[in-house]
């Protein structure tokens, strides 16, 4: 039974202006809350609803009692009327029906108040809401005692934004959002939705055209590719068990700590049965145990943010706030991080604020205009990667990116961010010819807005997460990348030493007979070694795109290839700088990395590959145990050249020292010729113990060595008062640790 419409009190017009009703119908009215919902008046309330497809609309109270039938008005689906006795706070619902059919009850989303508070609006408009992820996105919550989901999205130039999904038959007319004009955010609480609901945003641009449906820029879960919708999930809920580990993170992530990083692509580290991809929970068992056994201090994940193109390895992300659903839920990713922490392993995450893809469901022209990307293609488009570049000078975009970096540190306890492609951000002429770029306001090539963004991001990390670190993948000579912002630097804690990587790999690829002509490639890195806080990276970029594997780069027959690789690793782990090694390189993967398949773990059945793996494990152990090999990685006081002049025999020798003056001697012979009675100068008398020899039989070598150690003799060599006579194994690095002795120093 449909009740008789309640008579509206005299002098009160319950129907809006006709043009406003038609604007709602066409979906171009800027503020549906100014027309739809409940409006208190004398003796009750005016209620207006827009429900396309309904033939009747009745207001009911919380108990289901019918209060008033609303009159149809304006375009189809628009109803308006007066409900006597309905005050401004009483709950009510709507009962709709099709013509002659059964009715159904729904909550009226327009009876609920705003989602953003005044402080949120102010901070978003200012570009300083660093916990943006607590307000934007889709958050399961309760309003006025009613469960549902609070949606909020930034689209400042849109005429209309609606949240759509299966719950409203993907009909953008039914859930038009409220625009907060002060900050350009659209918001709506949709009752009785919950986790798992699939949704997108339907956006009508400033020109009146409907845009392709958009995924949520701050969505916490996205559908697994090729599907592209967002999924309601809310912030991660996990009971962390890593408190003891995180309490010490300021110490084990400092410049003086041993930092040895295992770089991992989650989808191809190892596969399960039938080549199935391991999920986050599988990896929490297998990967954690392996990394701990190998002695690495950290893992670094290639980007886990949701990316539509798997072949981008995560470097073309769209869901910056969503751990990829390919490997499981956000909660499962949190369990993986927690498991690593409980095993004493830090977690670094590749972060990509340098560019984003042009997929239509993503950020590109999100509200019909360029709001995330720079509007000038000379500054807003990467031709190399066919991707877009963020508008770093726009406060809301900078806020979006900074808040995203902090989201991973906050919600997932990530210990540090490795920032991808920093060089492409720093320079306006990056990969551009003359005339294809626009100078900055000073006439220079530096991207001043990007520089300001990077400084701000690093400062905010330092302010809110002082134990976290940031690492820059930066390949140019831009100064002071890893110096504090107050001293004029960019504020990163560490910088990848790309120059060292390219120089030393160039040397190692030369036939030993020719290495005498390239000796400087192994020594030049020390000219600038302390200009930054460096990480020595042998990363994924060196084992793809036809470059082959690290083992494949080594010259000679099979024995020499493995010997060269072992000698190189010995040199790297002894050289000043933190260490990074891409997965598979630790056991001498033969083939180039393929993201579509597992690493070749079966190779460990062969002694040479097992030997390389054992060497890397022992190098990590030695690096962590001996302070001289890590404590002064970033301080010139921790290093001395001993012999760089022996170009003809391709021998290099140097000392590493700690703050107590304890010393380690490293000698590398980069030829296949063993050298007996090779005298090396040292500054300390007593016993020098051979702690590691990459030619040892247990690693697959020829077992040429020094019988466990040598005693220094009072014979001056290399300008030092003492010396030791060594046997230098072929294609090997030897590490000699000074153990002291009875003789006075």
Query: Which listed residue (306, 420, 503, 542) is catalytic?
Result: 420
Neighbour order of strands in the sheet with 146-154: 137-143, 146-154, 185-191, 178-180
Instruction: In whole angstroms, give the CA distance from residue 29 to residue 135.
Output: 24
Tell me how many degrees the CA angle 479-484-487 measures, rounded to the nearest 5: 75
Instruction: In whole angstroms, give the CA distance from residue 399 to residue 185.
Output: 14
Burial 62-79 (b: 16+ CB within 10 A, else e): eeeeebbbbbeebbebbb
218 contacts 321 by C-beta, under 8 angstroms: yes
Instruction: In whole angstroms, give the CA distance from residue 200 to residue 164.
Output: 6
Closest residue by Cα to residue 262 from 418, 410, 491:
418
728 contacts 672 by C-beta, under 8 angstroms: no
User: Quick one: 46 exposed, middle or buried, by C-beta within 10 A (0-12, 13-18, 19+)?
Assistant: buried
The pair phi, psi for residue 393, each rounded to 5°, is -85, -10
- How remote is the C-alpha of 295 from its chain's centroid? 23
Instruction: Give me the residues paired with residue 590 across strands.
Output: none
Instruction: In whole angstroms, give the CA distance from residue 97 to residue 129.
Output: 44
510 in active site: no
Residues contacting residue 139 through CB under 8 Å, at least 6 positions apart? 149, 150, 234, 235
Q: How many CB atoms lie within 10 A of CB 7?
A: 10
Instruction: In whole angstroms, give the CA distance from residue 474 to residue 464.
Output: 24
Dihedral sign for Cα atoms in the order 212, 218, 223, 224: positive
Residues contacting residue 619 through CB under 8 Å, at least 6 positions apart? 569, 570, 573, 692
Closest residue by Cα to residue 655 from 643, 670, 671, 669:
643
Instruction: In whole angstroms, give the CA distance from residue 124 to residue 621.
Output: 48
Query: Which listed residue (338, 473, 503, 586) is catalytic?
Result: 473
Instruction: Give me the residues paired with residue 388 across strands.
Output: 356, 381
Instruction: In whole angstroms, give the CA distance from residue 62 to residue 108.
Output: 12
713 DSSP assignment: B
420 in active site: yes
How far is CA 595 from each of CA 269, 386, 501, rounded to the nearest angstrom?
9, 21, 22
- For helices 395-411 and 118-126, the axis angle rounded to 10 degrees is 110
Closest residue by Cα to residue 129 from 369, 486, 460:
460
Q: Which residues are catalytic?
A: 420, 473
């Amino acid at each position: 039974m449909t009740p008789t419409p309640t008579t509206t009190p005299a002098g009160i017009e319950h129907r809006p202006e006709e043009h406003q009703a038609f604007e709602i119908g066409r979906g171009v009215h800027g503020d549906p809350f100014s027309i739809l919902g409940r409006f208190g008046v004398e003796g009750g309330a005016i209620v207006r609803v827009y429900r396309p497809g309904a033939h009747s609309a009745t207001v009911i109270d919380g108990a289901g009692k019918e209060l008033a039938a609303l009159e149809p008005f304006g375009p189809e689906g628009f109803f308006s009327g007066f409900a006597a006795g309905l005050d401004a706070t009483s709950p009510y619902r709507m009962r709709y029906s099709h013509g002659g059919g059964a009715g159904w009850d729904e909550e009226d989303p327009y009876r609920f108040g705003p989602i953003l508070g005044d402080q949120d609006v102010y901070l978003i408009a200012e570009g300083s809401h660093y916990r943006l992820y607590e307000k934007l996105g889709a958050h399961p919550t309760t309003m006025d005692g009613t469960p549902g989901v609070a949606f909020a999205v930034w689209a400042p130039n849109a005429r209309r934004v609606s949240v759509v999904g299966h719950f409203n038959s993907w009909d953008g007319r039914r859930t038009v959002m409220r625009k907060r004009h002060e900050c350009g955010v659209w918001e709506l609480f949709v009752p009785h939705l919950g986790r798992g609901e699939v949704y997108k945003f339907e956006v009508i641009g400033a020109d009146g055209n409907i845009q392709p449906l958009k995924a949520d820029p701050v969505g916490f879960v996205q559908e697994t590719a090729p599907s592209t919708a967002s999924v309601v999930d809310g912030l991660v809920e996990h009971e962390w068990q890593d408190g003891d580990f995180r309490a010490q993170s300021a110490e084990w992530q400092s410049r003086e700590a041993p930092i040895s990083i295992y770089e991992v692509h989650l989808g191809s580290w190892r596969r399960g049965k039938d080549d199935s991809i391991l999920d986050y929970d599988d990896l929490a068992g297998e990967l954690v145990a392996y990394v701990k056994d190998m002695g690495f201090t950290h893992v670094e994940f290639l980007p886990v943010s949701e990316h539509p193109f798997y072949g981008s390895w995560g470097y073309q992300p769209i869901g910056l706030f969503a751990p990829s659903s390919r490997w499981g839920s956000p909660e499962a990713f949190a369990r993986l991080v927690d498991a690593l922490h409980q095993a004493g392993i830090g977690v670094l995450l590749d972060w990509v604020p340098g560019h984003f893809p042009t997929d239509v469901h993503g950020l590109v022209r999100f509200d019909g205009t360029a709001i995330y990307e720079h509007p000038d293609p000379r500054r807003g488009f990467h031709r190399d990667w066919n991707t877009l570049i963020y508008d770093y000078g726009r406060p809301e975009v900078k806020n979006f990116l900074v808040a995203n970096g902090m989201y991973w540190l906050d919600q997932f306890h990530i210990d540090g961010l490795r920032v991808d492609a920093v060089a492409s951000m720093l320079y306006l002429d990056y990969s551009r010819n003359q005339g294809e770029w626009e100078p900055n306001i000073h006439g220079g090539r530096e991207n001043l807005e990007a520089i300001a963004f990077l400084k701000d991001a690093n400062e905010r990390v330092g302010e809110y997460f002082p134990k976290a670190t940031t690492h820059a993948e930066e390949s140019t000579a831009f100064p002071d990348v890893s110096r504090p912002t107050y001293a004029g630097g960019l504020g990163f804690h560490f910088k990848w030493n790309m120059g060292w990587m390219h120089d030393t790999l160039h040397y190692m690829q030369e036939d030993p007979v020719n290495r005498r002509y390239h000796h400087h490639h192994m020594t030049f890195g020390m000219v600038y070694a302390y200009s930054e806080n460096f990480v020595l990276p042998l990363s994924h970029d060196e084992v793809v795109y036809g470059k082959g594997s690290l083992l494949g780069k080594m010259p000679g027959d099979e024995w020499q290839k493995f010997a060269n690789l072992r000698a190189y690793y010995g040199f790297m782990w002894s050289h000043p700088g933190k260490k990074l090694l891409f997965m598979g390189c630790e056991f001498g993967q033969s083939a180039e990395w393929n993201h579509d398949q597992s690493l070749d773990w079966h190779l460990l059945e062969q002694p040479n590959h097992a030997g390389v793996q054992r060497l890397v494990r022992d190098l990590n152990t030695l690096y962590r145990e001996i302070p001289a090999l890590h404590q002064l990685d970033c301080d010139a006081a921790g290093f001395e050249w001993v012999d760089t002049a022996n170009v003809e025999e391709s021998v290099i020798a140097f000392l590493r020292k700690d703050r107590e003056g304890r010393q380690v001697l490293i000698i590398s012979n980069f030829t296949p010729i063993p050298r007996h009675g090779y005298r090396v100068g040292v500054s300390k008398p007593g016993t020098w113990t051979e702690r590691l020899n990459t030619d040892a039989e247990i690693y697959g070598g020829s077992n040429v060595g020094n019988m466990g150690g040598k005693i220094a003799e009072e014979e001056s060599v290399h300008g030092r008062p003492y010396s030791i006579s060594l046997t230098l194994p072929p294609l090997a690095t030897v590490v000699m640790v000074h153990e002291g002795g009875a003789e006075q120093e």
